[in-house]
Structure 1
Amino acid sequence: MNKSLFATLVFAVIGLPCASLLAAELPKVAVENTQYAVLQKHCILCHSGEDAEAAFRIDDLSLDINDIETAARWQKVLNALNSGEMPPEGEPEIDKAAKANFLEHLANTMVDARRKLSDQKGEIIMRRLNRREYGNTLRELLGVDINVNDLPSDKNTGSFDTVGSNLYMSSTQFEQYMALGREALDEAFEWEAASGVEKKLRFETEEITPKVSKFIEYQLDARQRAERWIEQVDKAVANPDNAAIIEEIKAGPLGNHRDILYRNWKKLEGAPAPESFGFQTEEDNADKALAGSRPFHLPYHRYYMEQPAIETGAYLAAPNEHPSKLDNATINLLVPFSWPVGEYVVRFRVAATEHATPDRSFLEFGINPRAQQAISVHHITGTMDDPQVIEVPLTMTRSNKERANRSLFLREKGSRDDWVQATRIAREGRDENDGIGRKFALWIDWMEIERLPMADQPKPPGIAVLQNIPFDDKSGEPNLAELHAAFQQFALEAFRGQEPSPKYIDDLVQVYQTYRKLGDKHSDALKNTLAIIISSPMFLYHFEPRDTDAPRTLTDREFANRLSYFLWSSPPDKELQQLAEAGKLQEPEILEQQVTRLLDDPRSEEFVDAFTYQWLTLERLDFFQVNQEHHPRFDNSTRMNACREIYETFGYLVQNNGQLPDLLQSDYAVINGVLANYYGIDDVTGDRFRPVPLPDGTPRGGLLGMAAVHLMGSNGDTTSPVERGAWVLRKLLHDPPPPAPANIPQLARLAGKPLTTKQRLTAHQEEPQCASCHRQIDPIGFGLENFDAVGIWRTEDSYQAMDDNGKPVKDGKVTWEIDPAGKLHNGPAFQNFLELRDAIAAKEDAFARGFTEALIQYALGRPVGFTDETLIEDIQNEARSKDYTVRAFVHALVQSKEFHSK
């Protein structure tokens, strides 16, 4: 049996009253008689009666799929036909078109059967906080962020991390929650201890200039010594006694390369010892001698010293290929390890030089340059006459503080992503500048970091309720009454308004006393006891108890919790709590006002990011690295901003109540300076994402114009029309193709042949089990082929065939002009991408339907089933009446009976 079906059916058995009850209440799922006729014609002779082949009968196979057993038997039919197992060899083949139609129908029917048999009839399973909610809840309680990535994943493929059936608990997780709770308390106590501390550190970058000057002197001296040493080596090379050694060297892997002669100086009779010329170590002295003689090291340093403004700042140089080169590619500011955790701001004064082309006008900022990945990238619009000051907020956590290399860095965008990229940049720089080295595009005046004092800011609630007891071990020990009150107040905050029992608090006091008797200091005993509170079920679970199987209306406090975690992924704030306590929150007018307030709040970014990531299955963006040798402009900073474009666009619609169909087609793009440069859109500067008007005929605008969307439909190097077409069907057209069969036939006869992408995939459709899906998928994928693997517009593509050893096949390269024309399966034809986009945008109702189902699943924490049909239609009808504005969907869902019920 298909594993995914088996898992779904097991869930149906253990989670639902009984299959027969569902069959009586849910819509009918059945195989059509016209399709069953294919089996009757080709299979019934062998698979009927008591002596049926392989004991599998189809003559008594019900067309109605009402139970698990029937679904399993039909799945077996589907698997046998997909694998080519049936009909068996020697029996008449099924007509290819008829087989493709049958497989398409049966695969879609089985998808419906899975939904039917796993329908929870609106039941919401008890669920714990997922990783995001847990981290956010700790932050709201204690005011600190901790890394929760070591907790198990909260989602299965195709579902959301809010779905209760995924949010199980194991004993190992309880231990992890205890450890993470203690870690959060350690962090919070350290932040509290340093709340009034002020720190500031400034680095004037012109301090680099004397080092460059001194290194030039060193290079000149080293070069003179190297030239004298090389002259002596050359004499040794001329010695006839060395002829055999030289011939041996020439026959080596680098052939007649002068460097090899120098590296093998020890073999040569009469060659002087490099130590006598001032080179210090036997292992690398030959390389150092050559480094001093190479022609592009010293000139680059001299070129730097000729630049203006080196007495007041520093230029960012080409990335290093060798330690002897100018080491200004990254400017570092080392932060002392003694500096406390807290909120900081980093500032730097920068300018773009006359050599700053549009591609070279961006500056990366990060922490710990060895980790490579930048935190942010900034568009430099200041000039040498009028530099700009950029401010970047930075949270210094205990994790940052304990890093081996805690330095802040600035570097030119994309210059240090990897060695291949750095080498290419340095080489191109020399080619463009008379062999000297890359011209300088960015100038840094100074860089500073300042800790912001926290003493005047409101304390997080979990810390505020503990103010009557000491946090340290120098201020005395609290009495039992003070401990009891502190634990009671802390638990009340941690449990989101649910009162802990008196016995629970008494037990906590006893736990604290036990820790003290065992020798723990007061601060450790206090944190260990508080960690129990934030590892308990009342903290870790959404508290919505139910005494009977019958649905009930949520209390106002429970409703406030559900609403807040839906739109903020964190606990309700004071205003929601007060409305809940007054019994007013569920009144329609007040609720509408509160939903608007929550969406207007910056915390709604949690909803935007988490929902968008899972709705559009953006995890594929993390699957692979881009081949930067083939796509050099798509560096890590461009990737970071391209991914951010998807979130920022949906966030713009949420914040401005924009229309959902704008994600299909729009006359604007929500971009910043980095992406405008990448897309070739003029007159857009700065780091802020905002809507930018687009000219007619542009391929940008909407999801299908975004580089990150096309990156998902590639392997980081070449495009995959199948991945792209399937994604469009799933996410934009609400017409997902059924799961791919387990045994997809491989077309070995095409290996090593120079074919276009369309020729290769069209040949794949010769197999009916492939054609049934690919005739829907491929036309869409081909229509998107004008976008390369990283979303750059193109008109040509090429393919190089490789042999079994990975070597290029002779005459195996083909280049072709891209032909995006096609026809949607059972839909209109299109001649180019713009017409394809128009055809997709015309299906806004289907797109809205898919969005509605995803929103329900995310908000209610359960799969959407057939019994949700009325809810889906009500939400979609309400949103349609308001031009499909995004907030209309949210308001309609929150006002629904289902959102108010448990």
Structure 2
Amino acid sequence: MSRFFVSAFGLCLFMGGLGAAPLPPVTPFLEQHCTECHDGEVKKGGLDLTGLAFKPEERKNFDAWVKVYDRVSQGEMPPVKKPRPEPGAAKSFLAALKTPLHDYETAQQKENGRTVLRRLNRTEYENTVHDLLGISLPLKHILPEDTPLHGFDTVAEGLRFSQLQIEKYLEAADAALDAAIVLTKKPVGINQRYSYKNEPGIRKNLDTPPGTLSDKTNPKSGHRVMFRENEKEVIMFTTGDYLVGLKQCRLPGPGMYRIRLSGNAVQSDGEPLTLMIYSNNYKNKRLLSYCELPADKPREFEFTTRLDGSEHIVINCDRVGRDKKGQNIYNVGAAEFQGTGLAMQWIEVEGPLSAEWPPASLKKALGEVPLTELGEKQKKFRDGKQLGYELAPTDVKLAVKSGLTSFAARAFRRPLEQDEAVPYIALAQQSLDAGGSFEGAMRVGLRAILTSPAFLLLEEHPGRLSDRALAARLAYFLTSSMPDEELIKVAGEGRLTQPEVLKAQTERLLKSPRAAAFVTNFVGQWLELKNIDATTPDTKLYPEYDMLLKLGMVTETEAFFSEMLKSNLPVTNFIQSDFVMVNRRMAEHYEMPGVAGEEFRRVVLPADSPRGGVLTQAGVLKVTANGTVTSPVVRGAWVMKHLLGQPPPPPPASVGAIEPDTRGTTTIREQLAKHRDSESCASCHKSIDPPGFALESFDVIGGYRENYRSNEKGANVKRKLNGQNIWQYKEGLPVDASGELADGRKFQDIREFKKLLLDEKAQVMRALAGNLVTYGTGAGIQFADRDAIEAIAKLAEAEGAGLRTLVHAVVQSPLFLSK
């Protein structure tokens, strides 16, 4: 009789009282330490162990036993006030319970795999279509949002299909094919320098004599000149949007554009200004890039971006408009204004940028099909645009078959099975038989391929992954897109499953620019930075919060993760590091002098700095707070879940939420004391609250504080906003960042707390390994996976505990190599 059968049967006998078979050593342990509180009468926490059968095939039952295992193994149960079990008794109980749970789930995994069949999420779909067709058209906004599970939108159980999903895939496929199949005449591009001196609105303001009444009945309606100009530039003193208008710069069509500009700060006391460049189509405004302009000396800045053809370029600078006395430009006028201004010499727009025409996307979509160039006497139009080319296949049916077969093989990320392309070719043939053109027939077939299960789903079978399935898993893990040519080649040769080859390919992808997708998508979900816009800080209390600070918050954490990955720094740096990744704006926010420019770079911290690690990064601190006050409960739960991999249970339904005291009359610590006095709350809060208390030294936007800010009570505090404007708030109650961990260890502030947290580095490594496995395999960590996660963590620790080493350990693990 197997050990699994003995253990499971014994438990069933104990729970159901069915007979006299030998029992594993769980009966005396449960009777002695558990059933007093967890029987049919008391049923504490809703758990009745005397009525709980052992039926692992039922998910709720299995989860209940895992919960029992975890509470005992973590020392949470029996409660501290109860007699503690002998270490040997607890160890025997856990071993007896672990075996049947582990063996049952392992058997299920062998039969069905850890991961259910999963589809591409929105980001993966967009990236894959871009790579497949060679286009850059945004697509993911067309698709419904994905449902994250276990913290990630790559988990298969959350990636369901619906009727709406299919309809949107069809819409996205049509949009992608429209962008790829381009037969119009080559657009006459632009490459021109523009001056704001010629912008109609600015020109009118400069040319209208000062004092001219816009309303002759109102003597206060006199014209105020808001700009200065000289031979080379216009100087702007307001925070409004300044566009390169359509009369000057009309974009010839969608595509990639190169934008150059020259500008500098004036009257800024030597301080730089940050210029933001947007696109605007009168419906949506989006940030394209930003740069720091020095004082008094022009700087040229260049970047490349996609524009949809209906947009115009807009610049904005938010550190102008008031002088040192707080006077507004509107009240003073440009001639007398002594505040900071933005001097713009010129702006250049070049594009659309295309190395060849028709674009390479045409061949990627249709294959090698001959083209006939249309002369001026053969004018043909489509959607109001003149065609420049016609498709001219010598054998239409053969071209359709060849084109769709080749495209399907690339789209499905593997060689086609026999006759697998036949249904798509048949659809195209029906279009031809109905009198359709070659292009129309190809669109029908391509549309079907781009909405087929073979394209939308990642094909994996129970057991070890094939080379091609492994190539797809590795590519989507590290690049959020389909395998590139080299990875496809290595997989096709059957070499990818060789450990050294797999390691080399992993390293190659990590070094490639495509790995930026891994950093953005993993970090954004692991640390919840994707929620950066979920709250808006109170503008009265935190007027220093602006677009640049928000962008910097996210970029800092991504840059920090990238630096750790590139340099293979120990995972403990997530807890405490001796450096930060900042630009001037973030360094200013952290009160770190001597950092200039918009580029993020590694800056060594002073020895006594409270910064270092992800806990004290502004982005993390913002997403764990609301716009007005901080909550140790929210931040403490974040630490437990994301760094320690021990998410606390949800609060009981009978326990109300803590209402924030926006008046600043009580501290959050005082409010939480009432919660901690409740027995039902205390057991969880003793673990949740301490990390949150340590982080109370940081406000809702991640600024360091010794006192809370208040709008109502306390002494007035005056501070400069963005280096010049003055704002005022009230100094609230003092911050107390001390605390005591559940095991009795105490700390006085965030510095001491991080030292204590370093003692948990093994747990941090396990938690991060679990998150990487979940993100990379598309399945949450199951009970049967825990030993494998432990092995990954120990392997990485033995080899230096570096982040890059951990990623390699994940990829080489059985969890990653199997379905």
Q: Same fold (TM over 0.5)?
A: yes
Task: Give, in whole Å, the separation in 2 of the partners of 1:819 and 1:315.
Answer: 48
User: Which residue of 1 is the match for residue 316 of structure 2?
Assistant: 411
Shift of 1:175: 2.4
The 1-side partners of 2:175 and 2:147 are apart by: 25
1:463 CA drift (Å): 1.4
SS at match of 1:539: helix
Structure 1 residue 676 corresponds to structure 2 residue 574: no
1:725 correspondence with 2:636? yes
Distance 1:38 1:450, change over 3 A: same
The aligned amino acid for 2:153 is D
Counterpart of 1:39 in structure 2 is: 37
CA contact (8 A) 2:632 2:695 kept: yes
1:83 corresponds to: none
Question: 1:566: Cα distance to partner?
Answer: 1.6
State how 1:125-144 maps to structure 2 within 5 Å: 125-144=116-135
Spell out the pairing of 1:837-876 with structure 2 (5 A cutoff).
Answer: 837-876=754-793
Match of residue 259 from structure 1: none
| Contact 2:532-2:550 within 8 A present in 1 as well | no
Contact 2:667 / 2:733 at 8 angstroms: preserved in 1? yes
Q: Does 1:459 align with 2:360?
A: yes
- 1:440 equivalent to 2:357? Answer no
| Greater relative contact order structure (CA < 8 Å, 6+ sep) | 1
CA apart distance, 1:380: 1.6
Alignment check: 8 A CA contact 1:564 1:572 kept: yes
Residue 60 of structure 1 aligns to a residue whose secondary structure is: helix
| CA deviation string 1:631-662 (max 9, x = no partner) | 11110221012112111211221222222211
Aligned equivalents of 2:115 and 2:707: distance in 1? 51
Distance 1:661 1:369, change over 3 A: farther
Letter in 1 for 2:178: D
**Deviation at 1:514?**
3.2
* Paired letter, 2:255: G
Among residues 804, 816, 819, which one is paired with 1:899 in the alignment? 816
Query: 1 CA distance for matches of 2:655 and 2:340?
Result: 53
Find the aligned partners of 2:202 and 2:756 in 1 and give their Cα distance.
62
Partner of 2:456: 540
Which of 349, 353, 357 lines up with 2:262 in the alignment?
349
**Secondary structure at 2:424 match in 1:** helix
Matches within 5 A, 1:874-893: 874-893=791-810
Partner of 1:5: none
Query: Structure 1 residues 683, 209: closer, same or farther in 2, change over 3 A?
Result: farther
One-letter code aligned to 2:575: L
- Alpha-carbon offset, residue 409 of structure 1: 1.0
Task: Report the alpha carbon displacement of residue 214 of structure 1 after superposing the two structures with TM.
Answer: 5.7
Aligned to 2:231: 311
Distance 1:605 1:29, change over 3 A: farther
Distance 1:193 1:553, change over 3 A: farther
Contact 1:345/1:392 (8 A) holds in 2: yes
1:477-518 Cα shifts (integer Å, max 9, x gaps): 65211221111111122121321543x544434423433555
Q: Which residue does 1:581 correspond to in 2?
A: 492
Rounded Cα–Cα distance in structure 2 between residues aligned with 1:214 and 1:66:
77
Match of 1:292 in 2: 221
AA aligned opposite 1:868: D
Q: TM-score, normalised by structure 2?
A: 0.80
**Counterpart contact for 2:239–2:316, Cα < 8 Å:** no
**Alpha-carbon contact 1:713-1:723 (below 8 Å) kept:** yes
On the 8 A contact 2:254/2:352 being kept in 1, the answer is no
- Give the Cα–Cα distance (whole angstroms) in 2 for the partners of residues 480 and 176 of structure 1: 30
Q: Which has the higher helix share?
A: 1
Deviation at 1:741, TM superposition (A): 1.7
Q: Tell me if 1:594 matches 2:505.
A: yes
Q: Which amino acid aligns with 1:61?
A: G
Structure 1 Cα separation of the partners of residues 332 and 9 of structure 2? 82
In structure 1, the residue matched to 2:21 is: none
Bigger Rg, structure 1 or 2: 1
Alignment of 1:496-507 (within 5 A): 496-499=413-416, 501-502=418-419, 504-507=420-423
CA distance in 2: counterparts of 1:57 and 1:670, whole angstroms: 48
Conserved in 2, the CA contact under 8 Å of 1:638 and 1:674? yes
Deviation of 1:726 after TM superposition, in Å, equals 1.1
Alignment of 1:300-339 (within 5 A): 301=226, 304-305=227-228, 310-319=230-239, 330-334=242-246, 339=252
DSSP-derived class of the 1:124 partner: coil
Cα distance, 1:576–1:827 mapped onto 2, change above 3 Å: farther
Report the AA paired with residue 793 of structure 2.
Q
Checking the alignment, whether the CA contact within 8 Å between 2:129 and 2:176 is kept in structure 1 is yes
Give the Å deviation of 1:776: 1.8
Superposition deviation, residue 290 in structure 1:
5.6
2-structure distance, mates of 1:73, 1:851: 22
Given that 1:376 and 1:637 are in contact with CA atoms closer than 8 Å, whether structure 2 keeps it comes out as: no
Give structure 1 stretches of 5+ with no counterpart. 1-16, 79-95, 230-288, 321-328, 416-421, 803-812
Q: CA deviation at 1:172?
A: 3.1
Q: Return the alpha-carbon distance in structure 2 between the equivalents of residues 47 and 577 of structure 1.
A: 60
Aligned partners of 1:781 and 1:749: how far apart in 2?
Answer: 15
Measured in 1, the distance between the counterparts of 2:60 and 2:147 equals 29
Deviations 1:847-878 (A, max 9, x none): 11100111111122112112112311221111
Q: 1:97 to 1:578 in 2, by over 3 A?
A: closer
Partner of 2:533: 622
**In 1: Cα distance, 2:773 partner to 2:60 partner:** 29
1:22-37 alignment to 2 at 5 Å?
36=34
* Identity fraction in percent: 27
Residue 606 (structure 2) pairs with residue 695 (structure 1): yes
Cα 1:529–1:20 shift into 2, 3 Å: farther
Q: Deviations for 1:26-81, whole angstroms, at most 9, x for unmatched residues?
A: x99999556536527xx86x579xxxx9xx99583359796759849979x99xxx
Q: How far apart are residue 131 of structure 1 and its match?
A: 1.4
CA contact (8 A) 1:756 1:814 kept: no
Instruction: Identify the structure with the greater strand proportion.
Output: 2
Q: In structure 2, what is the Cα distance between the partners aligned to 1:512 and 1:369?
A: 37
Question: 1:465-484 counterparts in 2 under 5 A?
Answer: 466-470=367-371, 474-476=390-392, 479-484=396-401
One-letter code aligned to 1:468: V
Judge conservation of contact 1:671–1:690 (CA < 8 Å) in 2: yes
Aligned pairs for 1:216-295 (under 5 A) are 217=208, 219-222=210-213, 226=216, 229=217, 289=218, 291-293=220-222
The corresponding residue for 1:834 is 751
Structure 2 Cα separation of the partners of residues 554 and 58 of structure 1: 42
Query: What residue in structure 1 maps to residue 564 of structure 2?
Result: 653
Q: May I ask how many residue pairs the two structures share in their alignment?
A: 739
Instruction: For structure 2, list consecutive stretches of 5 or more residues without a partner in the other structure.
Output: 13-23, 69-78, 373-386, 714-729
Q: Deviation string for 1:356-399 (max 9, x for gaps)?
A: 664x6111111018545523221223x43x41110121112xxx
Deviation readout 1:550-606 (Å, 9 max, x if unpaired): x43322222222221221121111211222222222222222111110100011111
d(CA) in 2 for partners of 1:63, 1:873: 29
| Structure 1 residue matching 2:765: 3-state secondary structure | helix
Specify the alignment match of 1:761 in structure 2. Answer: 672
Give the Cα–Cα distance (whole angstroms) in 2 for the partners of residues 444 and 479 of structure 1: 56
Contact 1:356-1:441 at 8 Å conserved across structures: no
Post-superposition offset of 1:196:
7.8
3-state SS in 2 of match to 1:745:
coil
Distance of 1:829 and 1:838 partners within structure 2: 11
The letter for the 1-side match of 2:253 is P
Query: Is the CA contact (8 Å cut-off) linking 2:288 and 2:305 kept in structure 1?
Result: no
User: Which has the higher mean CA deviation after the structures are superposed, 58-67 or 126-135?
Assistant: 58-67
Cα distance change of structure 1 residues 832 and 729 upon mapping to structure 2, 3 Å threshold: same
- Match of 1:705, SS state, is coil
**Residue 448 of structure 1: how far off its partner (Å):** 1.1
Q: 1:217 to 1:361 in 2, by over 3 A?
A: closer
After the TM superposition, which of the residue ranges 454-463 and 521-530 deviates more from structure 2? Answer: 454-463
Kindly indicate whether residue 602 of structure 2 is the aligned counterpart of residue 610 of structure 1.
no
Give me the whole-angstrom Cα distance separating, in 2, the residues matched to 1:202 and 1:822: 60
Q: 1:800 to 1:758 in 2, by over 3 A?
A: farther
2:276 to 347, 354, 364: 364
Could you say what secondary structure the match of 1:149 adopts?
helix
The 3 A distance-change label for structure 1 pair 177 and 352 is same
Q: 1:541 to 1:291 in 2, by over 3 A?
A: farther
Give a deviation string over 1:719-760, Cα, whole Å, max 9, x none.
122111111121223332222222213679999893222211
Deviations 1:677-710 (A, max 9, x none): 2222222222222211111111222112211111
- Give, as a single letter, the amino acid of the residue that structure 2 aligns with 1:153: E
Shift of 1:831: 1.2
